[in-house]
Amino acid sequence: MTTESSSSISRRGILGAFAATAVLAAPTFSNAAGFLRGAGDIRRLRMFSGRTGENIDTIYWIEGDYIKEAVSEINHFMRDWRTNGVKQIDTRTIDILAASHNLLNIDEPYMLLSGYRSPQTNNMLRSRSRGVAKNSLHMKGQATDLRLKTRSVGQLAKAATACRSGGVGRYSGSNFVHVDCGPVRTWGR
């Protein structure tokens, strides 16, 4: 929980002040780095973790500035729930998630399946599945696996691919999409 002070602006205060603006913020489709398409002037991330039962709904970027406290909350939320290990999540991945969510034009939070993975967790998952990469971007805090109840794997993958910002993997059989900020590529069905 955040401690609010009368002498500083809190994240909660910012959220209240910009809540109406966040809904109306027009997406921006130009950015030199190319990975912020559709994210808007205010960037918000909404997720639910079925593994921990936690929710996050935070504005983490306003008009060019990341909000350090909010990014720290995202890092904790996207931790390796098996080891409780926390790693800094690459803000490019967070931006792709926010932009994809805006392109889908929904209020439903993502369901997070996997964010950061410790090497131990990644090795354990590799021993159980051929689909887990030895040098997974999850271990670098650059990838996430997620789903939405109201959108198909194809719809979510299409939105993430439209950002032209990293890797997008469709895992229709397991009902999730992998999104990362690595090289632009797609796979799966």
- Label residue 38 by pLDDT band (50, 70, 90): low
Q: Which of 114, 148, 149, 152 is nearest to 132 (CA)?
A: 114
Between 10 and 156, name the one with better pLDDT.
156
Between 174 and 1, name the one with better pLDDT.
174
Q: How many helices (H) and strands (E) does the chain have?
A: 5, 8
When the pLDDT of each residue in the chain is averaged and rounded to a whole number, the result is 83
- Phi, psi dihedral angles at 46 (to 5 degrees): -125, 120
d(C-alpha 105, C-alpha 2), whole Å: 29
* CA-based torsion, 134, 135, 139, 141: positive or negative: negative
Question: Which CATH number describes the domain made up of 11-188?
Answer: 3.30.1380.10
What's the pLDDT score for residue 25?
36
Q: What is the largest CA-CA distance in the chain?
A: 53
What's the pLDDT score for residue 28?
31
d(C-alpha 109, C-alpha 115), whole Å: 15
d(C-alpha 14, C-alpha 61), whole Å: 11
